[in-house]
Structure 1
Amino acid sequence: MPKRKAAIAVGGVAALGAAALLLPNANASQGKNDASGATGTAKTLKASDASDLAAQLQKALGDAVAGSYYDSGKKQLVVNVVNGDSNVLVQAKKAGAVVRQVENSTAELKDAAHTLKTRATIPGTAWAVDPRTDKVVVTADSSVTGAKWDKLQSTVRSLGPGMATLKKSSGSFKTFVSGGDAIFSQVQGGNVRCSLGFNVKASDGSPAFLTAGHCGVAAKDWSDSQNGQPVATVDQAKFPGNDFSLVKYNDATTQAPSEVNVGNGQTVNITQAADATVGETVFRMGSTTGLHNGQVTGLDATVNFQSETNPGGVDTVNGLIQTNVCAEAGDSGGSLFTQEGGAVGLTSGGSGDCKNGGETFFQPVTAALQATGATLGDGGNGAGGQAGAGDQSGSADPSASAGDQSGAGDQAGGNQIGGSADPSASAGDQSGAGAGDQSGAGAGDQSGAGAGDQSGAGAGDQSGAGTGDQSGAGTGSGDQSGAGTGDGSSSLTGSN
C-alpha cells in the first residue's frame, strides 16, 4: 500500500437508518433505568466519568459492591451493596454515587453463572449479570426448543427465586461475518466480509487494526476491496473464548488514523479506550447497517454460538459486553464507541436485525489491547491514547473528544455523526449470499456463488471517507433516508 491514508475506512461507509434521533433522545428506554430503591445524593456525571468511578469503587470496596450501572435519565452512578456496611455506604456516597441495597451478592451471581456454564452450555444461549435487576439474565434464541429448552428452564429454576430470569429471543445467535462491504478476504469456496474496528499501533510500532476474532480465524489476508490484493495480514486471532484479531497493514508506512468513519465524509476521533458501563448510550458502526445506537445492558456476558466447524459443538465466548444495539451480517468486528470518542468494543455477534432489534455482543477493546499489546493511535503518529486520557467535554476542536453532549443542541466544530449516504453504498438484500455464522470457516452458505458473489453497488475503495463503486455489497438498504444535521453540530445521531 502506498504511503497514504489507509484505504480501509474504520467502520466502513454506510447510510444512517431512517429514524435518526439526537443523542438526548437516542434510546427510548433510557428513562426506564431509574435508581428505584436508591438512597443518597449523587453527583451528576457523564457516562465516561461514571465508568471511571465505578471501577474505582469496585477496586476499593471489593465484593461489598454487587455491581453498578449508569442512570442515564438522572446522570448518576448507582452502586449496589448487599451487607449494608456503614463504611461502604459512606465511602460510596462520599465518592458521588447513589447507593442501592440489593439481595444478591457478586459471589452469588457469579456462582449462578458458573452453574449455567456447567449445566446449560447449549448452543443459542447467553447470560449476563444485570445490575439494574440484581439478577442473571438468561437468553435463549429461537433454536433452543424441546429438551434443550426444558433443560435450560430447569437449570434457571434451580438457581432459586430472585436469582435469574429467562427470556426468549426471536432470532438466533450468530457471528456477523457475512455480507459486509468494508474488509474482504478470499477463502476456498467464497469470500469473507467483516468490518474494521479501530486502527491501532502494534507492540512493535507498526500500523494495524482490530477486528473480530472469528474474522481473523476465518481468513488471514485482508483487502480493502472485493477480490483486491491483500493490504493487511492477521497477526493474532482469538476465537472462541475471546473474539478479537490484530491485523497488521502490510505497508509499514500506512497512515491509519485513529477515528471512526461514520459515512457522508464524517468521522469521530477516537482518543482513548473505554470500559463499558451498564446503562450508558453507545454507538455502533458497521459496514452493512451503518450507524446505530442503544444502551449497554450487561457486562461479562457469556454467549454460546453454534459451532460451524464442529457440528453439534459450541463456540463459547466469555467476557463480552451485551447491548440492545442492532447489528447484522457483515458488521462483525465493527466499532462500538461513545460520543466522547472512547473505543468500547468490537462487534462479535447476536440475534435479530436492524428492523426487529435483538441482542448484540461485543468484545471489550480494553481486553483486546491488553492481550495483543497494541495501543490506540494513528499508525505511529500518536493521535490516540489509552483509558484515562483527559476529558475534553464540550471541546470545539474537531480533533478533541466531543464531551458529554446529552441535552446539548449545537456545538459547532465538534464531532458530528449524521448525514445520509448513497443508498447504493449499503449492503442490503443479501439473499443467496450465505450470511450465516462463518466462525472458523468464513464462507457461510457457499452453495452456488457463496458469500462473495453479491453483485451490486457497494462501498468501494474507502481511502479518505468517500464511497466508491464495486461489486459485492448487495442491493441498497431500505432504511436510509435519515438526513444528518449538516450544520457542524456535535450531537451524535443514529437509530436503534
Structure 2
Amino acid sequence: MRRTPHARILLSLLLAVPALGLGSGTAGAQDPAPGPPGVGASPAQYALRSSIEHDLGERTAGSYLDTASGELVVTVTDAASAEEVRAAGARAELVKLSMSQLLSTMGVLEARAKIPGTSWGIDPRTNQVVVEADQSVSTLSMARMKAVAARLGDSVRITRVPGVFTKELAGGDAIYGDDYRCSAAFNVRKGTVRYFLTAGHCTGATTGWTATDDGASIGTSEGSSFPTNDYGLVRYAGGVQTPGKVNLHNGSYQDITSAADAIVGQAISKSGSTTKVTSGTVTAVNVTVNYGDGPVYGMVRTTVCSSGGDSGGAHFAGSTALGIHSGSAGCNGKGGSAIHQPVQEALSAYGVAVY
C-alpha cells in the first residue's frame, strides 16, 4: 500500500529505516522499575545550569532537577563551591566523587569493558556511573563487566535492560533514501539556506532523500557523523521554506524556538514516525553506548519509548530542542532505555540554528 506523502514543510522529525540490531543483555533480565516522572525545565534553569557548571568546572559532578520540588540541584565536593552555587540561585548538594573521578571510572570501563550491548553514563542524582547491559550480553561478558566494576567500588552501578540496544532508523515525518526510511529531527537554517538534522547513521547510509518511498527529491545529505557521534545534516532541495516545528501526530505541531542540553530529572518528549509522541524522563548524561558497529559518546539516556524506524527523531521539551534520537533497548511502555544525541553539538558542528 502506498504511503500518504507528508508535505515537505512538515519534515520536522524522525527518520525511519529497517532497524539494525545492537546491544547486550542476558536471558531472564527483569524490566527496570519505572523511575519518578520528570519535571519541566524552564529557560532560566537551562541558562543557570550552563553558567554554574561552566564556572565550577571540575568542582561539580553534574546537575539535576529534583523531581519533587523542581529545583535545580548542583553537586559539588567542597563547602566553598556549595556557597557559590547557593549564591547563584541553585541548590547545592555535597557529594563524594568529583567529575574527574567519575570520568576516570568511565575511562576504565572504556579500556577494560567495552562490550557491545552495554552503555554507561553519569547519574548526578546518585553520584555514580550507571552501566546498562541488554539481552545480548552473554554470561561470560557480564562476568567480565562485573569484575571490572568490582574494582571500581561504589562509583559504578550495573543494571539490566530488556531487549537490545538498536539503532532505529525512523522518524516523526518519514523520509526515504534508497532502501531506508528515516525522519528529520529539527528544521534548521544557516542564513537563508534551510536544512534538517537527523541521525548520522541515516545520512551515512544514503545521500538522497524523498518524502515518500517513490517521490521527488526533497534534499541531499551534506554531513554525517557516526559512529563516535550520531548526527547528520540534509540540505533541502530548491528554495523550500520549512517551518521550525515538530509534528505531534494529533493534527497539531510544537513550535521550536531554542535549543539546550537536557538536564537529568527533567520531563522529555520524543516524536517519531513509528511510536509517534512518547514521553519520559532524562536519566543520565555523558553516556557511552557500545553499538555493535561502533561506540557513540556524550549521549543522553532517557525513558521515552521508541521502536524500529524512530532513528533521527526529535527529543524536545516544550519549545526547546534537546536531542536527535539514536536508538533504544527494551521499550515496553514501562521500562527500557532510549538514547539521544545532544542537539547543541550538531548545531555547533554544522553552524546552523533552530528557529
Partner in structure 2 of residue 194 of structure 1: 182
**Unaligned segments of structure 2, at least 5 residues:** 1-5, 16-33
Query: What is the rounded CA distance, in whole Å, between the counterparts of 1:69 and 1:133 in structure 2?
Result: 10
In the TM superposition, what is the alpha-carbon distance from 1:181 to its structure 2 partner?
Answer: 6.5
> For the Cα contact (< 8 Å) 1:177–1:332, is it kept in 2?
yes
- What residue is the counterpart of 1:250 in the other structure? 237
Could you tell me how far apart the structure 1 residues matched to 2:148 and 2:180 are?
Answer: 37
CA deviation after TM superposition for structure 1 residue 10, in Å: 1.5
1:129–1:299 Cα contact (<8 Å) kept: yes
**Whole-angstrom CA distance in 2 between matches of 1:282 and 1:355:** 15
Contact kept, 8 Å, 1:31 with 1:73, in 2: the verdict is no
1:457-477: CA deviation from partner (whole Å, max 9, x where unpaired) = xxxxxxxxxxxxxxxxxxxxx
Per the alignment, residue 236 of structure 1 pairs with 223
Structure 2 counterpart SS, 1:263: coil
The count of aligned residue pairs is 332
- Kept in 2, the 8 Å contact 1:76–1:97? The answer is yes
Q: CA deviation at 1:206?
A: 1.5
CA distance in 2, matches of 1:205, 1:196: 19
| Superimposed CA distance per residue, residues 206-251 of structure 1 (whole angstroms, 9 cap, x where no aligned partner) | 1110000000011111110112232110000000010000000111
- Counterpart amino acid of 2:295? T
Give the equivalent residue in structure 1 for 2:213: 226
Give the conservation status (yes or no) of the 8 Å contact 1:283–1:292.
Answer: yes
Q: How do 1:145-184 residues align onto structure 2 when only pairs under 5 Å count?
A: 145-160=138-153, 162-177=154-169, 182-184=174-176
Which residue of 17, 33, 56 maps to 2:51?
A: 56
Question: Aligned equivalents of 1:240 and 1:344: distance in 2?
Answer: 20
Aligned to 2:95: 102
Q: CA deviation at 1:193?
A: 1.0
CA contact (8 A) 1:47 1:277 kept: no
Corresponding position of 1:289? 275
1:43-87 superposed Cα distances (whole Å, 9 cap, x missing partner): xx94432222111111112222121101132010111111233xx
Q: 2:338 maps to which residue?
A: 360
Q: Name the structure 1 match of 2:263.
A: 277
TM-score, normalization: structure 1?
0.64
Aligned to 1:77: 72
Q: 1:282 is matched by which residue type in structure 2?
A: I
Task: Provide the residue aligned with 1:343 in structure 2.
Answer: 321
Query: SS of the residue aligned with 1:325?
Result: coil
Instruction: Name the Cα RMSD after superposition.
Output: 2.1
Query: SS where residue 254 of structure 1 aligns?
Result: coil
Contact 2:13 2:172 in 1 (8 A): no
Partner SS state of residue 51, structure 1: helix
Identity of aligned pairs, percent? 36
Secondary structure of the equivalent of 2:204? helix
Classify 1:130/1:139 alpha carbon distance in 2 versus 1 (closer, same or farther; 3 Å): same
After superposing the two structures, state which structure 1 stretch, 204-213 or 268-277, moved more. Answer: 204-213
Contact 2:13 2:173 in 1 (8 A): no
Q: Structure 1, residues 334-362: CA drift from partner, whole Å, max 9, x if none?
A: 001112x0110000012022445310110
Ranges in structure 1 where 5+ consecutive residues have no aligned partner = 14-27, 34-44, 308-314, 377-383, 385-496
Residues of 2 paired with 1:208 and 1:258: CA distance? 10
Change in 2 beyond 3 A, CA 1:181/1:336: closer
Q: Which has the higher strand share?
A: 2
Q: State the one-letter code of the partner of 1:289.
A: T
**Shift, 1:259, TM fit:** 0.5
3-state SS, counterpart of residue 370 of structure 1? helix
Q: Distance in 1 between matches of 2:211 and 2:332?
A: 25
Distance 1:352 1:329 in 2: 12
